[in-house]
Chain A
Amino acid sequence: MMLTMKRRALPLAAAMALVFGAPAYAEDPGQAPQVASAAAAGTVTIDNFAFGPATLTVAPGTKVTWDNKDEEPHTVMSADGGMTFKSPALDTDDKFSFTFDKAGTYKYFCSIHPHMVGTIVVK
């Protein structure tokens, strides 16, 4: 329920940002991350059996995309056994995205090479 309400509220915030223009919220650090996050994106590149950056910090609402540039296939699975997010097999140049709505520290790993670990910090 909360999630639905939050999603409905976002377009309104975005609309207000348009009305008031960028400087209006840039001066208000309390509001800025929320509005900016509506369109924010982060990328984690997978190469040579590693997630880069190993720790990525993003604002709530950011869509993070993993991009497999390795010759080997990999996966992305949240450390809670894939309850939060779980990709299909990512072959070379395959991508997987997940939008982080809630603040927190999300550890993840590759389910076929579990020595490959990474963290997304949402704050």
Chain B
Amino acid sequence: MDTRRDFMKCLAWAGTGIVWSVAGGVPRAINLGGAAQAAAAPTGFSFVQISDTHMGFKADANPDPNATLQAALDKIAGLKNKPALMIHTGDVTHLSKPEQFDTADQIIKSAKLDTHFIPGEHDVIGDDGKMFFDRFGVKGAPAGGWYSFDQNGVHFIALVNVIGFGPATGGTLGKDQLEWLEGDLKGKSASTPIVVMAHIPLWPIYPQWGWTTGDAEQAFAYLKPFGSVTVLNGHIHQVVQKIEGNVTFQTAMSTAFPQPAAGAAPNPGPLKVPAEKLKSVLGIREIAYAPAAGLQLTDETLA
């Protein structure tokens, strides 16, 4: 069966959370709704994902994105298991302005979590990300800003696919980054769980709106030998999931504003919902890892 365009949408659920268990690359929803919390085994750990914080956004869809980011961090602070780290999958700012980077830095720092960032296209406007990388970049990373690190046996790969974001390709990884990735994975055991973070979805959700990464296929050729690959993206401000072989793809909610489902509006962009509904379409993700159980993803709204 060709699953390339076959993806599941999890846009609505009754309770506050949806839990996905990813073992051997196949996620299973194990709990719908309720206040279920992922339980990390003693030898495992958990981490959290936030995305699309859009500091500086000031239109009707969310008059106070600082407050909703703070609400997201409060939610994280209240999790039963303290996360070992946090990842931010891009669009930290709305318009790449210095004061927007300042605000983001201050609010996110207040969570006192080891945070790993990658840029969104909103973070690299006009300067190819210089301001972003000066502040959130990793020392010693290649010039393009991509990097990797390890945590409790899980290998994290942070990719940059927003430089060269264009009409023909959507997101782009580029030759240099793909070569780096091949080298980064060389010699790693196929049983190493891999978490890939990138802003723009690494699979074609809706190329008409640029919701795709043109040269991602080459990256997955390098990732093919690995038994468990979890791809965490942002950009589209809603949870969409796809499973292909050992690879699970899942986009995240924003902390700032929702966007229409693919093709459900003439254009992508901020979707205004009634004020009292806003927190039910914004959210965070908790990911728990235990060697025996694999990765378990829990999306929770701010409601």
| A residues lining the B interface (CB < 8 Å) | 48-49, 71-73, 75, 79, 81-82, 86-89, 91, 109, 111-115, 117
Main secondary structure of the interface of A (DSSP, over half): loop
Contact A88–B125 (Cβ < 8 Å)? yes
Judged by DSSP, the binding face of B is loop
Stretch from B1-9, B163-171, B241-249, B293-301 that touches the partner = B163-171
| Cβ-defined contact, B270 with A72, below 8 A | yes
A sample of 18 more A-B contacts (CB under 8 A), given A115-B208, A115-B267, is A48-B266, A72-B59, A72-B269, A79-B167, A81-B166, A86-B126, A87-B126, A88-B96, A89-B95, A109-B167, A111-B124, A111-B125, A112-B122, A112-B125, A113-B210, A113-B267, A114-B210, A117-B167
Q: Is the CB of A81 within 8 A of B270?
A: no
A51 to chain B, nearest CB (A): 12
Residues of chain B within 8 A of A113, CB atoms compared = 209-210, 267-269
Contact partners of A72 in chain B: CB under 8 A? 59, 269-270
A91, B270: Cα distance in complex, Å = 14
Within 8 Å of chain A (Cβ to Cβ): is B94?
Answer: yes
Q: Cβ of B95: which chain A residues have Cβ within 8 Å of it? A: 73, 89, 91
- Cβ of B97 within 8 Å of any chain A Cβ, yes or no, is yes
Name B residues whose Cβ lies closer than 8 Å to a Cβ of A. 59, 94-97, 121-122, 124-126, 128, 164-167, 170, 208-210, 266-270
